[in-house]
Amino acid sequence: MLILLSALACYQENIPEVDFTGTVVLPRAAATRLLPTFDADGNVNGSQEVTDTRLIGPIFLGAYAGIDNASFAYPHPSMGPIVDVSVPGNAFPYGGTSVGRYDFACYDVLGCKVVTGRFTDYDDVLEYFRLIGRPVTDFDGTEIENGSTYQQQCYYYYYATSDEEMSFIGAEDFTENSAGDFEATFHMPHTTFTPGMVMWGFMDAPMMSALTTDNNGTFTTCSTADDNYKDDYNNTYSEGEQVPDALNYPSLSITTGDWVGDGNTVVESADDAPVVNLSFQYTGE
């Protein structure tokens, strides 16, 4: 029995999985947008250029066999066979992660609009949505004007007793570096390591217009149709749901204005600390 236990303790599966820690870098332009300005009645009367890390959308990162620079108007992971001509080939990531994820921020109007790691507190959320012309309102259409009202709604919705239970507020992911760009640490666990593989990703930029505010703050990688719903007496909350396979079929999620990896982050060692630069903006051409 002792011999058997000793043999089991020494068994190695030899699965080449690695937990990578790296840095994702976004150019300053990725956090800079032209936003509307408003008159005393709340009507759009002009525009202003704003640089704000709250304008950084969710970032999807994956490890891939290589980069295809020919099939799309931006660097794209190498793909497997195209089985259906209407769907691109599967990119088969070795592993993946994100910097920020969608989280339901307690009010129905915020479904699919709030990303973790972008807001420090409730007032920060309220101020941002006023800035982009989409003030946070309750079911009656009344604007939420202070953080304490917001906090109480969240405690009610989540049956919570502390702000630590709200994952959409807290420490920010991104900091400004010496070049004026923005960077954040990412963790990509349980990644199948192959020497020469490439780390690549993209940022889903929030829709933003300085002319009309109807769609400001929305994302293409999240949907409130056919998603998670929660009934509360006569109110129904639509929490939103991220689209599946964002790393397997990234071209189905990348739209005009999104920022894409340059494809130059080659990983040669399991000890590497990769730096992924999302320096390519897709213009739709």
What's the pLDDT tens digit per position in 67-91? 999 999 999 999 999 888 889 999 9
Whether the pTM exceeds 0.85: the reply is yes
What is the average pLDDT across 88-105?
A: 97
Name which of 100, 150, 108 is nearest 125 in CA terms: 150
Residue 21: both structure tokens together: 């820690």
Residues 52 and 90: their CA atoms lie apart, in Å, by: 34
The residue type found at 206 is P
DSSP string, 5-39: HHHHHT------EEEEEEEEEE-GGGGEEEEEEE-
pLDDT tens, position by position, 220-246 = 999 887 656 676 766 777 888 899 899
Tally the domains of the chain.
1
- Tens-place pLDDT, residues 45-67: 999 999 999 999 999 999 999 99
**pLDDT recorded at residue 4:** 47
Cβ proximity of 61 and 24 under 8 Å? yes
The parent domain of residue 187 ranges over: 2-281
pLDDT at 22 over 60: yes
Convert the pLDDT of each residue in 166-185 to its tens digit. Answer: 999 999 999 999 999 999 99
Cβ neighbour number for residue 150 with a 10 Å cutoff: 23
CA distance 59 to 276: 11
Burial class (CB in 10 A: 0-12, 13-18, 19+), 255: middle
Phi (first) and psi of residue 276, to 5 degrees:
-105, 120
